[in-house]
Amino acid sequence: MFAMFKKKEQTQQSTAPPPPPIQQQQQALQQPPIAPPQQPAPKGSMFKGSLKVKAPPPQTSEILQQQTQPQTQQSQLTQSQSNSDILSPESDAYKQQFNQVEIPTPQEESNVEQKVEVKLNVEEVKKKPTGFGFLKKKQPEQALPTDESLQEQVESQINYGIQVKQNQVQEVNRQQEYTQEQSYQQNYSPKQPKELTNYEDQKKQIYKQNEHNEREIEQQQQYQQLQQYQQQQQQQQQQQQQQQQQQQQYQQQQQQQQQQQQQQQQQQFLYQSQVNSASPLKNSIINKSQTIQNSTNPQLDNSYVKQHQMIMEELEYFQTEANKKKAQIYISQQEIEKHIVQYQLKLQECNSRLTQLSIEQQVCAQQEQFEKAEEIEQSLKQIQDKITQIDNQIKQEELQYSKLQDEKENIRGEEYPFYQETEQKLEEIERLHIKYSDQYRFEGQASIKKLQQHIEEENERVKIQQIHTEIDSKHLDEEEQHLNQIMDNQTKEYRIEQDQLINKKSSLESEIAELQLLLNQKKNELQKVNVDLHQTKEKIQQVQQKFNLQLSKVQNKRTKLNDELNSLATERAQIEALEGDSLRKQHEYKNKLEYLSQQLESIREKRTELIKKANLVPEQCQQELDVTFKYQEAKKASLEALKELAQVQRQIDELNYKRNMGQSQLHEILNKKSELQKKLPKMIDDKALLVQNKNFKGAAQINEQIKEVQRQISLYEEKISENQTIETQILKEIDEIEDSLLSRQHQYQQLQQNAEICRYFVLELKLQEISQIDYYGLSYLVQDIKNELEQLFNKYQDLIYANRKVSVDNVDQIQDQEKEKEIINNNVNEIEDSQEHQYEQHQEVDNQVENEQIEQVIESHEQEQIQQQQENVVEMSEEEIQNYISNQKQIYLDIQQKIQQLEEQVSDHCQNEQYEEADQIQQEVDTLTQQANGIQIELKQKYNVDILQPEDQEN
């Protein structure tokens, strides 16, 4: 019951206008009794200066006949209002702000409605002991509005508006019920005179219009009050914004002064906070935390971080540019070497063609074929011009190669001082970083200790205040129970009577519904019961009004206590926020210390790397000079030996050509000699026949012919002997030259072998230098160098191991540098992984709750799936299960075989540097592995079957 009264008091305080001062109330009581009808009265009084009372009209015979008719709309409205809560915002006594109150009378509840205004004197009403409108309620002193009180007022205004709308809807429903009941009564009740019905309709319309006007007036007043409240709230917000702006301006001025005083010091980070809340405890906490932060305002300077970034950017830019230039130089040198090799092949072809044409020219000259010899001479000149042109091109390419080599040496000469200077700068930054880390560690520990001490003090203070508020709350509860007990005792008889009358009313209403024939008689009884019920309610209200003052005091205490409890809750929330800030700062402090240590390690590693690079530059230059000089000398000697060998081979070719020509001539001579020798016996026989026939003239002619043949045969024999002597001389010369050719070939092979070994070491050193360059476009060059190194190593493996003493240091340096590069890359990756791990830790703290919820959902879903799978297993027979398992195993094996094939394809594509195709195939492998894992899990969970791998099954 106390909660009901408490609610009513809250609605009255939140919605009613502010009361006038006490002096004005006393003067109003001392005024004459006749008051103006429209003058508003104080909030505490229930009856106003003039009362509007409904009186019955002059009763006629027709009216008396209609007294037994059903109730009118007004009687139903008064009935509903009497049953409603006392002093609720829906009651007429609370709504109307004018000095008029409607009091229902027994005559008013009849079918005839007529309003008569009767003005009563205030003094006469005061004489009545039963009146409770003259109990003046002392209004509590209104405190200055705060954000919470303003918010409560807004909520109460909104609740009041909602209640008014609900009342309007209820009244509309009541009107509809009334019209239905009236139509029902008209159908079953005796007919009334037409004049009386017209009069009643007019009175109903007038009554409805009055009610509508009063509602509009009330809504307008409420709307005006809301507007005034909104304007006040806007003004207060504007004032708060102005105060905040003033505070900001004042803080900016202080910052400017501090910056002017601290120009000699390094940059500082000042932590400021704006005080926007009205709670004094919150302001004290924020001010205390700000003082702690200002006390820990360390004179730290991390500007060296920007310097470190600039130095690293300069180093990275220098290295990229140097690597870019070196890569371009290596690529162009490789192209020049390819061009020189092509030119040398062309030169060898031209020399071989030159020797061949010179031999042909000599033969033509011997055979006196001068025209052909002249043509050969022209082609020889063209070939010699082409040879000179190729020599000039080779010289130009070699000159360009030497220029590129000089440019590379200049780049290395720039690297050495730059690396030394950068290493010195990093040493200074390392010193500043250590100093900054130590200072940050000291200041952070001090600030965290102060903040924890402040949190402990606030916790103790809030605990003490919580105890006091709990004690006060207990006392208020006891007082409230005592008042409720007294009020319940004094209103017990009335409440029993009220319950009896309500039960009687309900029974009568049920009888009216069942017995329509006795409706008129029962309604007369119901009217009497309503009058008695109204009187009992008035008595209850009189008793309750006596305790309103005490209840209001208790309510005020309750509101203050609630405010204290709310403030304690806000303080507790602020303390928890401070604890959270403390934990966050500790976490940030640890993370930053870890980051600083990692950064220090990276700086030291970079320094050592730069020192090694700076020391390695002169060694690499000297090694490259030595190796390239040896290679050039060996290559030059090999080329000279090749030229001499070509000359000797040319001589041998000329002699072989002469020998071949002599042999061809000798073969012709022998053929001619054999023909003559075949003719000679026949000629001798012819001569003998002519002598027998004594034809001596003919015999003399044949004899001359025989002598001529014999003379030619002797000449051929001489030529044959000459050719044989020439051939023996040529063979002797060829033997002599071939001996020198063998020695020269052996010498050329040794020189060429030495040159190729030197070439191997040059390429090895070049591969080492290229591996240190981080630049795109060198993969083909590296592959070509590796292929050439592999060929040379397979060709001269033993000799390279024997001569490894010359370049074993180079190989060790290559391996050491590759290991150092791998270590540096691993350290960089570890630093990046640690930074990503720190960022992931921050995100994990935020998403931990969500992940737990997701895991719970997944687990529940998996359990449901397992249950469904088990149900499905039960439905299948054993044969079907075995067939299903065998099919799944076969599918699993097929998938594994396909995965192996795809993995082999992936490895092949990776070796051929076809990474896009490898990526696509790897995606297919991932999907197949997921399918296989799904089959394995399904068989394990459903049928408790382990699938062996294909290798295990084969074994």
pLDDT in tens, 438-486: 888 888 888 888 888 888 888 888 888 888 888 888 888 888 888 888 8
Identify residue 174 by its one-letter amino acid code.
Answer: R
The CA-atom distances, in angstroms, between 359 and each of 642, 661, 741, 762 are 20, 11, 19, 41
Q: How many CA atoms lie within 13 A of 706 on its CB side?
A: 15
Q: Provide the pLDDT for residue 115.
A: 38
Q: Provide the pLDDT for residue 63.
A: 40
Length of the chain: 955
Q: Which residue has better confidence, 698 or 708?
A: 708
Task: Compute how many other C-beta atoms are within 10 angstroms of the C-beta atom of residue 109.
Answer: 22
pTM for the predicted model, two decimal places: 0.37
Q: Which residue has the tokens 């082609």?
A: 379
Look up residue 836 and give its two tokens: 């990503």
Read off the pLDDT band of 863 (50, 70, 90). Answer: low
Q: Provide the pLDDT for residue 121.
A: 44
Average pLDDT over residues 174-203: 57
Q: Provide the pLDDT for residue 192.
A: 42
Q: Does residue 301 have a pLDDT over 80? A: no
Q: Provide the pLDDT for residue 864.
A: 52
Q: Provide the pLDDT for residue 7.
A: 46
Per-residue pLDDT of 236-258, as tens digits, reads 778 777 777 777 777 777 776 66
Q: Does residue 646 have a pLDDT over 50? A: yes
Q: Provide the pLDDT for residue 859.
A: 52
Yes or no: say if 760 and 796 are a contact pair by the CB < 8 Å rule: yes
Q: Does residue 36 have a pLDDT over 60? A: no
Query: Which H or E element spans position 194?
Result: helix 194-261
Query: Which letter does DSSP use for residue 270 in this model?
Result: -
| Alpha-carbon gap, residue 326 to 408, rounded angstroms | 7
Q: Provide the pLDDT for residue 567.
A: 83
Look up residue 194 and give its two tokens: 């037409």
| Alpha-carbon gap, residue 735 to 119, rounded angstroms | 164
70-79, 261-270, 778-787 — most confident range: 778-787
Q: Does residue 408 have a pLDDT over 80? A: yes
Look up residue 620 and give its two tokens: 């690499």
Q: Provide the pLDDT for residue 710.
A: 85
Identify residue 633 by its one-letter amino acid code.
Answer: E
Q: Does residue 90 have a pLDDT over 80? A: no
Q: What is residue 955's three-state secondary structure?
A: coil
Average pLDDT over residues 195-217: 67
840 φ, ψ to 5°? -70, -35
Q: What is residue 52's three-state secondary structure?
A: strand
Q: Provide the pLDDT for residue 314.
A: 86
Average pLDDT value over all residues in the chain:
69
| Alpha-carbon gap, residue 633 to 639, rounded angstroms | 10
Q: Provide the pLDDT for residue 828.
A: 43
Ranking 115-129, 691-705, 936-950 by mean pLDDT, the lowest is 115-129
Read off the pLDDT band of 49 (50, 70, 90). Answer: very low
The CA-atom distances, in angstroms, between 859 and each of 854, 866, 940 are 9, 10, 18
| Alpha-carbon gap, residue 763 to 756, rounded angstroms | 10
Q: Provide the pLDDT for residue 260.
A: 60
Read off the pLDDT band of 321 (50, 70, 90). Answer: confident
Yes or no: say if 762 and 633 are a contact pair by the CB < 8 Å rule: no
Q: Which residue has the tokens 């001359």?
A: 704
Q: Does residue 170 have a pLDDT over 60? A: yes
Average pLDDT over residues 588-600: 83
Q: Does residue 8 have a pLDDT over 70? A: no
- Closest Cα partner for 408 from 504, 508, 332? 332
Look up residue 14 and give its two tokens: 């939140």
Q: Does residue 784 have a pLDDT over 70? A: yes
Yes or no: say if 415 and 617 are a contact pair by the CB < 8 Å rule: yes
Yes or no: say if 114 and 55 are a contact pair by the CB < 8 Å rule: yes
- Closest Cα partner for 598 from 442, 780, 832? 832
Q: Does residue 686 have a pLDDT over 80? A: yes
384-393, 509-518, 606-615, 645-654 — most confident range: 384-393
Average pLDDT over residues 907-929: 75
Per-residue pLDDT of 741-780, as tens digits, reads 788 878 888 888 888 888 888 888 888 777 777 666 677 7
Give the torsion sign (CA, 853, 858, 859, 864).
positive
Q: Provide the pLDDT for residue 889.
A: 83
Read off the pLDDT band of 39 (50, 70, 90). Answer: very low
Average pLDDT over residues 195-214: 66
| Alpha-carbon gap, residue 648 to 192, rounded angstroms | 157
Q: Does residue 99 have a pLDDT over 60? A: no
Q: Provide the pLDDT for residue 901.
A: 84
Label each residue of 582-595 as H, E or C: HHHHHHHHHHHHHH
Read off the pLDDT band of 44 (50, 70, 90). Answer: very low
Average pLDDT over residues 677-691: 82
- The torsion defined by the Cα of 847, 853, 857 and 862, in degrees rounded to 10, comes to 70
| Alpha-carbon gap, residue 825 to 818, rounded angstroms | 10
Read off the pLDDT band of 562 (50, 70, 90). Answer: confident
